[in-house]
Amino acid sequence: MKICYLGIGSFGFCLASLLSQKGYQVTSWTTKEKLAKDLNQLKEHPFLPGCRPQGNMKFTTNLEEALDCADMIVESVTSAGIRPVFSEVLSVKTPTCPIIITSKGIEQDSGLILPEVVIEVLGEKVRPLVGLLSGPSFATEVIKGLPTSVVGSAFDSEVTMLLAETFNTPSFRVYPNNDIVGVAFGGALKNIIAIACGISDGLGMGCSAKAALMTRGLHEIRKLAVACGAKSETIHGLAGMGDLCLTCSSSMSRNYRFGFLLAEGLSPIAAKEKIQMVVEGAYTCKSTLQLGKLLDVSLPITKVVQKIIYEGMKPKDAVYYLMQREIKEEHL
């Protein structure tokens, strides 16, 4: 199988390596000429110290070359980059092979999950080809062969099974799931809650506060996801609760680190510069609140994260705001 991989960030490089080591021929595309050149010369990835290309991997800035004769397209860019990247793909050709999304987010203004963005760009005819891989998986752990379990989903059941078979390894277990909407929302919204948990830990609020944030955060995710057509069971599985637990509890999570740095007094711009990678939760909280307003779904944690990042609210004031909200009966 020939695989075109779009994006060579840390997670993209990690999954491309996984696929290459399974024997697939992987051509990874990037807009960064120096990165492609360095990796073709078997130098280590800049965000993954000690990790060099293995197996049958090739790196290029030529999108037409990457797409040529591809049996599968896999994406690892950013939420904001999905639309422009697939617009470039369309300028080369309309894919007729499976298209697997691994980015996690909700597009701003449109409120579309990322698979739907791809369909809107490429046309409704590609819907049966589009799938999504999501779940608790840090690139630095996956590339070391440490065990993890994730979820694969698609609009077509055959693509779901192909996705699972293609990515599954002895240490990277892929569970098929037929709820692509739930898988997408779980992966996207957990990043917002991870920012909140990073802020909580940065303020020294303790383990009890973080447990409450994670539990109520899961409730927020479920409410909005179900309102958009997802199954609540999916949110309680690997794509929701599993990914939430991972992202909210480790400094390896860029969203958690971002929140922690905000609590330490850094501005959102300074925190992003220090992390040097995209903080998807900062992008997704805007689109999440847009959807919540449209569907009349209350999202208090997302609201204060938005206020801290974009409206200058102080993290300590956000804690006070949440704790002073009207008491209501817990509904799960």
Secondary element (H or E) of residue 318: helix 315-323
Q: Which of 235, 199, 193, 185 is nearest to 213 (CA)?
A: 193
Q: Are 300 and 322 in contact (CB under 8 A)?
A: yes
22 is an active site residue: no
Whole-angstrom distance, CA of residue 121 vs CA of residue 91: 11
Catalytic residue among 190, 210, 223, 272: 190
Here the tokens at position 33 are 């000429």
DSSP assignment of 52-76: ---SSEEEES-HHHHHTT-SEEEE-
**Phi/psi at 22 (nearest 5 deg)?**
-80, -5
The β-bridge partners of 28 are: 5, 59
Residue 328: Cβ-neighbour burial (10 angstroms; 0-12, 13-18, 19+):
exposed
Whole-angstrom distance, CA of residue 289 vs CA of residue 300: 10
**Which of the residues are catalytic?**
190
